[in-house]
Structure 1
Amino acid sequence: MSASRIDETRPFVPVNIAVMTVSDTRTFADDRSGDTLVKRLEEAGHTLAARAIVIDDVAEIVSQLQAWIADPGVDAVISTGGTGLTGRDVTVEAFRSVFEKEIDGFSVAFHMISWEKVGTSTIQSRATAGVAHGTYLFALPGSPGACKDGWDGILKYQLDYRHRPCNLVEIMPRLEEHRRAEAGAT
């Protein structure tokens, strides 16, 4: 992180973040990974826009994503769970079905961080991220440790407007510029 820094001369801009736990067995009472994400985003000064637990089913995950993507009060979605290799792990397929653009570097950065902690076992994760209709979508593995790694190593910085040399918040107003151009042409 030597090239990363927080520029204290810039104002902090809170982001409205929805948290989705993908699991067939979790409830809000025992959702440690979801709790980890909520605690971290709130401690950073962001707003929890919504929270849901969704079963490991592509249609259910897509439905929740589409609802949040359509909600102007949600700027980003962070999910936990369902990014592995088993038959029930379908979060990545659901997310990719709604992406307009994939953020390839998110997976690369996540694996670099994970490599330091779990070595070659990182290949069993399919952490992914993308953009759909101006909403950032991040899919993290289901363990609290992976959520900490994804937030502490990547999202804490990229969702902070003060982060230099660049961050995802400062380009949020431009994510939909192609739609505005198309609307203006008609």
Structure 2
Amino acid sequence: MTTAMILTISDTRNLTTDKTGLVISEQLTAAGIAVLDRQVAIDDIVAIQYQFLAFEQRLPDLIITNGGTGIAQRDVTIPAIQPLLTTVINGFGETFREISYREVGTRALASRAMAGFNVKNQLCYCLPGSTNACQTAMTKLILPEYEHLLTERHK
């Protein structure tokens, strides 16, 4: 069974108020993926890396973050996670922004959503904090393709 962990990056949410992380969890569970843990970290590079690396050590197949992928000064998810990825899947971010453009117009340009593999060959996704954006990413990109990406990586 495929396993996943979800990390929400936010200065204002906690596990109780984290609607986006809950929606991601529900979609993963509905797809037969076991969600092993869901946590919230503040918008701080060290806090994000600490929780991400703690998840990594527990060896899930997928690590999905949400929040902090924009261009505001407080949005530090990408600078925190990108150095921890050994392989970035450029097509994920490109395609996500293309799909988002159709839904929200030029505001999609500010998204730095990305995907890649870390040193333990876990498939990692960095998604925006918007619940709608995460639903789009889950239904149109992640759920249809994660098995293929994991299979290709483990060949």
Q: TM-score normalized by structure 1?
A: 0.79
The whole-number CA distance in structure 1 between the counterparts of 2:149 and 2:46 is: 28
Conserved? CA contact 1:81–1:91, under 8 Å: yes
Paired residues, what number?
A: 154
Gaps of 5+ in 1: 1-13, 162-166, 175-186
Tell me the residue number matched to 2:21: 34
Question: What does residue range 1-186 of structure 1 map to in structure 2 within 5 Å?
Answer: 14-72=1-59, 74-132=60-118, 133-159=120-146, 161=147, 167-174=148-155
Cα deviation, 1:116-144, whole Å, max 9, x if unaligned, reads 10011101111011111211110000010
| Matches of 2:3 and 2:65, distance apart in 1 | 14
* Structure that is richer in helix per residue: 2
2-side partners of 1:130 and 1:64: how far apart? 17
d(CA) in 2 for partners of 1:128, 1:169: 16
The structure number with the bigger radius of gyration is: 1
Q: Runs ≥4 in structure 1, deviation > 6 angstroms?
A: none
Which blocks of at least 5 consecutive residues in structure 2 are unaligned?
A: none
CA distance in 2, matches of 1:120, 1:81: 19
Instruction: Calculate percent identity across the aligned residue pairs.
Output: 32
Does structure 2 retain, via aligned residues, the 8 Å contact 1:95–1:137? Answer: no
Looking at structure 2, the residues matched to 75 and 121 of structure 1 have their Cα atoms a distance apart, in angstroms, of: 31
